[in-house]
Amino acid sequence: MLHTFIALVDNKPGVLTRVASLFRRLNINIVSLTVGETEREDVSRMTIVCDAPENAAFRVRASLYKLETTRNVDEVGRSEAVVRELCLIKVAAGPNAPHGLQSRTQVFELAQVFRARVVDLAPDSVMLEMTGSASKIEGLIQVLRESGYEILEVSRTGRMAMRRGAHSSKVMKALGSKAHQTVFDGNEDPDALDPMDSLPNQFVEHET
Amino acid sequence: MDLDVQHTAMPHPPTLTGAEIVWATLAGEGVSTVFGYPGGAILPIYDALRKFPIHHVLVRHEQSAAHMADGYARASGDVGVCMATSGPGATNLVTGIATAMLDSIPLVAITGQVASKVLGSDAFQEVDITGITLPITKHNFLVTRAEDIACTVREAFQIARSGRPGPVLVDITKDAQQATAVFDFEMSKPRAYRPHPMLHSGLGDRNRALELIKQSRKPVIFAGHGIIQSGAEREVLAFAERHGIPVATTLLGLGAFPASHPLALGMMGMHGESWVNHAIQNADLLLAFGMRFDDRVTGNLAHYAPNAKKIHIEIDPSEINKNVKVDVALIGDLKEVLKSLESSLGKQDPTSLQDVGHPQSGGSKEGARGLATETWDQTADATRAWREEIRSLKGDASVRDIINLPDNGHLYAAHVINDIWQEAKAAGRLADTVIATDVGQHQMWEAQYFKHEDTRSLITSGGLGTMGFALPAAIGAKMAGPDKDVWVIVGDGGFQMTAAELSTIQQEKLHINIAVINNGFLGMVRQWQEAFYDKNYSNSPILSPDFVKLADAHGIPGTHVRERKDVVPTVTRARTGSETFLIDFVVEKEDGVYPMIAPGSALHEMVRRPTKDPLLETSED
Ligand SMILES: Cc1ncc(C[n+]2csc(CCOP(=O)(O)OP(=O)(O)O)c2C)c(N)n1
């Protein structure tokens, strides 16, 4: 089954190797991994999607935490988070393609339905850019294929995920945030679950 | 230079070279001894040593430097420190670092590295040691600037000793060693230790654990290495006594619970006593204290302790449900978790047994191996029937024991180890004896026949099983406790892996007692070949030099022992002398370690000890 982890890690050289090496050691295949900067200069954010047995998730999370460079790890289900992926697709279309010029208009129409954008137009090809959930992206690719288009190239970023609502106080603490320090008044059990962590999210996933 | 590094808030922090900062920081962390070997990329550090009150032990191979630092750490509980140059020096450390990693030993390894401007260019003696050691260190660092050395080395110490301990490597480029920076020990303090966010289990789990303990009629405590790491020996003893729960021990847990205690069962697992493993299979509750259900402990998982609920107290959350699915996991430092459990129990259970005294160490032989003391029958009523049952499981185990077989003129390794133990006990030195073993049959016999009463009295490579470990680890242990009687128990194979350290012993003028268990074979390999490969002894017979002459070449006295009657006098001679002494025990060649669980078999399917002569066929249980 697929698991999606969000890891906040130190923004330093070599951190990606440590994370990747961990999955290698656990013999778990990474489906996708995105890394990028965050709202904080010293923290990078990784969204890691991996294929592992259901009971492996706890161990992956615990092992990720064991890396000295990890500040916080969260596993997100679909309903609690917005999960998005960016994809570039190049299809053969244009005057020289099998169905000639008509093929282009058809691609434009498909793009519109899927809310993809045309970002490049060449005599023989059209490049589409699409953001959305993985299943929507796969939907577009499938429709293109079934409509007889030759797909020349696909480049996908892999999933990025963000929990809905505010950061949990736990995450803010892991990041050592000053702004949220008032939240922790000595008496509070630092490890008590936040309502954020335990309550199922009220929102239903709705696509843009 | 007079560097008062431990004092806080120096008015004018001095400017030092990176190399000096390394030593000043080590001194500030309380290091008095380091083990290492010089070379080009670490020469600035060696040059700066003379200004600092730290003793450097020159080893004969860097692997031994890591093992010595490891032995030092295991014996003392402090962080061990080793050093090596770049390239081959650093790669030679690898086996020693991995050994420490698998046994969670706090270690800081410092390596020299080529200058930062040529990093990645395959410069002379350049190797990517942070890359190489990534999976075998708890963490590692590459330092390229003098001003980063102090805080990095301090952070390395913090990481090595905090949480679940482990080795940390700090790779320092030569230019960083040569450059200068302001040194301020106090200001280089690492940010506060970041406890694992999954630590501390909720109250709910604790209550559930209490419920399971109260309901249990057949509990067994598993005493692991974590007890020693956490310093929870007394808490575990009190807990076991209070509830009358028998205690089985892992290899690395030996010494965490006194072997002569009426509740002590001894070692479990692959070479544990068969009745101990049977007890585990029959138990209704396992309380795992700081252990990780290693495959050598569990045997075939499908048939492991089928009727037992399991409570796992462990500091590393990633160990939970890794091998064995548990019913309750209490994540945290064992000592603290036990304290909080006991305080909750104290409120519920007025018939506390805490006032029951702990018998003196070195009790009767029966007491050491069984549950023969009446006190326990009278006190912990709830588990009395269970303790009776375990006693009955023993059956003829003690009759089969080689120690109790009539002398047949052969010298067995078990005799040697039993006699070393008895001799130390008779001399009143048991509490001051540290044994370092190598890996193989002798290691298992040591675990079976040397009754460890005291914490940190056994130093052995459990997780990695590294041959060549014993001699250097013993050197480290001796440096950590110069007043201890330190014994090396080593096979003829493993001894030849690091025998060059005899020379280090002499250079350091140490008194270590060396017992080579010489059977002419890579014994454990031979035993497996006998059991599983039709006695095809492929490359297990091993030729050895005359170890007594080898010792002599190093200026170390020694002797061969071939008969049982000579064991004790020679052991006394070694122990009471003033210098290192080597005894070459020429033992039975084709002896086997029993009981034994074959790989893939369940705990109760042990091959037991032979009934009459150990050289005869073994009987299936
Ligand atoms: C470095 C290393 N290489 C190989 C092994 C595999 N091995 C385990 S036990 C053993 C035999 C050890 O023989 P010896 O040192 O003579 O001790 P004995 O078993 O005879 O007591 C071997 C080769 C190991 N544990 N470590």
Q: DSSP letters of B355-409?
A: TSPPPPSS--HHHHHS---HHHHHH-GGGHHHHHHHHHHHTTHHHH-GGGSPP-S
Residue B364: what pLDDT? 36
SS3 content of chain A, % helix, strand, coil (to 5): 30, 35, 40
CB neighbour class for A25 (10 Å; exposed up to 12, middle 13-18, buried from 19) = exposed
Of B451, B442, B448, B523, whose CA–CA distance to B488 is shortest? B442
Strands (DSSP E) contained in chain A are 2-10, 29-37, 43-51, 70-75, 81-92, 117-121, 125-132, 151-156, 160-163
* Residues contacting residue B394 through CB under 8 Å, at least 6 positions apart: B273, B275, B370
In this prediction the ipTM stands at 0.84
- Nearest alpha carbon to residue B60 among B461, B475, B557, B552: B475
Q: What is the pLDDT of residue B199?
A: 62
- Asked whether the beta carbons of residue B320 and residue A62 sit closer than 8 angstroms, the reply is yes
Helix axes B334-348, B203-215, angle to 10 degrees: 60
- Helix axis angle for B233-243 and B334-348, nearest 10°, is 30
Whether A65 and B199 lie within 8 Å, measured CB to CB: no
Q: Which helix (H) or strand (E) holds B502?
A: helix B502-507
On whether the CB atoms of residues B183 and B24 are closer than 8 A, the answer is: yes
B472-499 pLDDT, tens digit per residue, is 999 999 999 999 999 999 999 999 999 9
Which whole number is the average pLDDT over A128-155?
Answer: 94
Q: Enter the tokens of residue B462.
A: 């459990």
B98 Cα–ligand 1 center, Å: 17
Question: Ligand 1: distance of its center to the CA of B82 in Å?
Answer: 25
pLDDT tens sequence across B259-317: 999 999 999 999 999 899 999 999 999 999 999 999 999 999 999 999 999 999 999 99
Q: Does B200 touch chain A (CB under 8 A)?
A: yes
Question: Is pLDDT at A197 greater than 50 in this prediction?
Answer: no
B198 interface with A at CB cutoff 8 Å: yes
B592 lines ligand 1 (CB under 6 A): no
Q: Which A-chain residues 144-183 have CB contacts (< 8 A) with chain B?
A: 170, 174
pLDDT of residue B197: 65
Q: B202: which chain A residues are within 8 Å (Cβ-Cβ)?
A: 191-192
> Is there an atom of ligand 1 within 6 Å of B591 CB?
no
For B342, which DSSP code?
H
CA proximity to B141, closest of B347, B150, B387: B150
Intervals of chain B under pLDDT 50 = 1-2, 7-8, 349-378, 614-621
Indicate whether residue B493 lines ligand 1 (CB < 6 A).
yes
Ligand 1 centre to CA of B89 (Å) is: 24
Question: Which residue, A44, A14, A17, is CA-closest to A30?
Answer: A17
Strand order in the sheet with B513-518: B458-459, B433-437, B485-491, B513-518, B581-586, B558-561
Q: DSSP secondary-structure letter at B192?
A: P
Three-state DSSP at A169 gives helix
Q: Is the CB of B463 under 6 A from ligand 1?
A: no
Q: What is the pTM of this model?
A: 0.89
B332 lines ligand 1 (CB under 6 A): no
Of B131, B200, B322, the CB nearest to A191: B200
Can you give the pLDDT at residue B200? 57
Q: Is B535 exposed, middle or buried (0-12, 13-18, 19+ CB in 10 A)?
A: exposed
| A58 vs B197, B316, B321: nearest CB | B321
- Cα separation, B516 vs B413, in Å, equals 10
Give B196→chain A minimum CA distance, Å.
7
State the alpha helices, DSSP H only, in B249-310.
274-282, 295-298
Q: How far is CA A156 from CA A20, A119, A131, B71, in A?
A: 19, 15, 10, 51
The verdict on A54 touching B (C-beta cutoff 8 Å) is no
CB B525: neighbour CB atoms within 10 A? 19
**Cα–Cα distance, B56 to B52 (Å, whole number):** 10
Residue nearest to atom 3 of ligand 1 (CA): B467
Q: Is the pLDDT of residue A193 over 50?
A: no
In the structure, what pLDDT confidence band is assigned to residue A170 with cuts at 50, 70 and 90? low
Whether the ω angle into residue B472 lies within 30 degrees of 0, i.e. cis, is no
Alpha-carbon torsion B376, B382, B385, B389, what sign? negative
Grouping H, G, I as helix, E, B as strand and the rest as coil, residue B145 is coil
Give B290's Cβ-side CA count (13 Å radius).
33
Q: How far apart are CA A189 and CA A169, in angstroms?
A: 12
Q: Phi and psi at residue A185, in whole multiples of 5°? A: -110, 70
Q: Across chain A, which distance is largest between two alpha carbons, in Å? A: 72
Residue-range domains of chain B with CATH: 15-188 (3.40.50.970), 203-394 (3.40.50.1220), 399-607 (3.40.50.970)
Contact B271, B595 (CB under 8 A): yes
Of the candidates B205, B210, B207, B130, the residue with the CA atom closest to the CA atom of residue B172: B130
- How many Å apart are CA B375 and CA B241, to the nearest integer? 11
pLDDT at A19 over 70: yes
Which pairing describes strands B285-289 and B219-223: parallel, antiparallel, or unpaired? parallel
Q: Which residues of B are catalytic?
A: 62, 124-125, 174, 524
A46 pLDDT tier (thresholds 50, 70, 90): very high
Query: And the tokens for B269?
Result: 């697992």
Give residue A204's pLDDT: 28
| Confidence band, pLDDT 50/70/90 cuts, at residue A70 | very high
The pLDDT of residue B402 is: 77
- The answer to whether B320 contacts chain A (CB < 8 Å) is yes
Contacts of B133 (CB under 8 A, 6+ apart): B94, B97, B109, B140, B169
Which residues, in sequence order, are CB contacts of A185 under 8 Å at separation 6+?
none
Distance CA B115, CA A109 (A): 59
Evaluate: CB of B521 within 6 angstroms of ligand 1: yes
Note the pLDDT of residue A78: 66
Ligand 1 atom with the shortest distance to the CA of B95: 1
β-pairing, A70-75 vs A2-10, is antiparallel
pLDDT at A91 over 70: yes
Per-residue model confidence (pLDDT) at position B358: 37
**Ligand 1 center to B502 CA (angstroms):** 20
- H/E stretch holding B223: strand B219-223
Alpha helices in B253-373 (DSSP H): 274-282, 295-298, 334-348, 365-369
Q: Quote the pLDDT of residue B401.
A: 81
